[in-house]
Homo-oligomer: A and B are copies of this chain.
Amino acid sequence: MSAELWLNQLHENGYRVTAARRAVVETVEKSTRALTPVEVYDMGRKKYRALGLVTVYRTLEKLEELHLIQRVHQPMGCQAFISMGQGHQHLLLCQNCGQAAFFEGDDLNSLISSIARKTGYQVNEHWLQLFGLCANCR
């Protein structure tokens, strides 16, 4: 019941726990694929009829700020969000069903320092994402 943990996080950071936020949190936390604000709105209203789209946007903003969710960038668009994995993880997305899997990518360190040396850049951050077909869809 990790949704409760998320609500605790909100509370501990001075935000109130409301029915609208419960609906958003429970929707996003249990999804295994990235959801757009409108998808969260549609799914969330099944839990709390009066939920407004504006509140979805506002809640996603706070969840992102608390690092509980992250924005997912895809060729078709960058408006979707998914729950954050534990630690430093990267995403692997199914091009057919959207199913997301996390993986660790810390084998990148040697590649990154070699790039830094060659280009003269100081590298602070990296994004790595894989696309393909999940076991069910292939």
What is A's interface to B at a CB cutoff of 8 Å? 73, 78, 92, 94-95, 101, 103, 105, 107-108, 111-112, 115-116, 118-135, 138
Contact = CB atoms under 8 A, between A and B. Distances in A.
Protomer copies: 2
B130 A115 contact: yes
Given A78-B73, A78-B78, A121 B111 contact: no
A121 B105 contact: no
Contacts of A130: 112, 115, 121, 123, 125-127
B131 A124 contact: yes
A101 B119 contact: yes
Nearest to A73: B73
Contact of A115 (B103, B112, B115, B119): B103
Given A122-B133, A125-B130, 20 more contacts: A73-B73, A78-B78, A92-B115, A92-B119, A92-B121, A94-B121, A103-B118, A108-B111, A116-B132, A119-B135, A121-B138, A122-B138, A123-B130, A124-B133, A126-B128, A126-B130, A127-B127, A127-B129, A127-B130, A128-B129
